[in-house]
């Protein structure tokens, strides 16, 4: 490989095109294919890699050529509702997995609330809890846990570790 510091003589075509050797572009960190900025100076020409600005949001960020427009992955997702390189089938699978995770999280939250309500019933705090929730709305399990410890004075180790069986 030639030394890129030594330079190289190249022809300038009739139409003004200049062919730059690939090893010089690679040495300069210019990835192909790309757009470069050509600046004319007194006695020379300077070639710079352009900053890629997203056409949609104008951020200087990694962009892709999408139907002749430079666009970043975030804007592509907002416009198409697909992630870059994702097919419609990939999107359907991703959305199904996200929905399944949300359902499982909701089910775990429900089961934890049931467990904490059984503890409240075991310690006779269920009527006070019903009143508090009637006034303030239903509590999430973490808030219910805090209420049982702080307001109903149920020991923390009971609330955190109790395996509850059905309480009548």
Q: What is the pLDDT of residues 113-143, one digit of tens each?
A: 888 888 888 888 888 888 888 787 778 888 8
The residues near 75 (Cβ < 8 Å, ≥ 6 apart) are 54, 56, 57
Percent of the chain whose predicted confidence (pLDDT) is above 70: 88
Lowest mean pLDDT among 32-36, 48-52, 57-61, 70-74: 48-52
Q: Is the pLDDT of residue 165 over 60?
A: no
pLDDT score of 4: 59
pLDDT score of 164: 58
Q: With helix as H, strand as E and coil as C, how does the chain read?
A: CCCCCCCCCCCECCCCCECCCHHHHHHCCCCCCCCEEEEEECCEEEEEECCCECCCCCCECCEEEECCEEEEHHHHHHHHCCCCCCCHHHHHHHHHHHHHHHHHHHHHHHHHHHHHHHHHHHCCCHHHHHHHHHHHCCCCHHHHHHHHHHCCCCCHHHHHHCCCCCCC
Q: Is the pLDDT of residue 167 over 60?
A: no
d(CA 62, CA 49): 13
Q: What is the mean pLDDT of the chain?
A: 81
Backbone CA torsion sign across 152, 158, 163, 166: negative
Q: Is the pLDDT of residue 1 over 60?
A: no
Averaged pLDDT, 79-101? 87
Q: Is the pLDDT of residue 56 over 60?
A: yes
Q: What SS3 state is found at 69? A: strand
């Amino acid at each position: 490989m030639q030394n890129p510091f030594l330079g190289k003589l190249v022809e300038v075509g009739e139409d003004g095109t200049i062919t730059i050797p690939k090893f010089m572009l690679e040495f300069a960190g210019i990835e192909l294919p790309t757009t470069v900025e050509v600046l004319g100076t007194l006695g020379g020409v300077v070639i710079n890699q352009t900053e890629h600005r997203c056409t949609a949001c104008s951020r200087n960020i990694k962009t892709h050529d999408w139907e002749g427009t430079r666009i970043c992955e975030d804007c592509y997702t907002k416009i198409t509702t697909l992630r870059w390189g994702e097919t419609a089938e990939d999107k359907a699978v991703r959305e199904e997995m996200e929905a399944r995770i949300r359902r499982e999280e909701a089910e775990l939250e429900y089961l934890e609330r049931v467990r904490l309500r059984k503890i409240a019933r075991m310690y006779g705090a269920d009527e006070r809890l019903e009143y508090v929730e009637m006034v303030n709305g239903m509590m999430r399990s973490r808030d219910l846990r805090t209420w049982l410890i702080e307001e109903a004075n149920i020991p923390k180790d009971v609330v955190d570790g109790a395996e509850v069986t059905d309480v009548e």
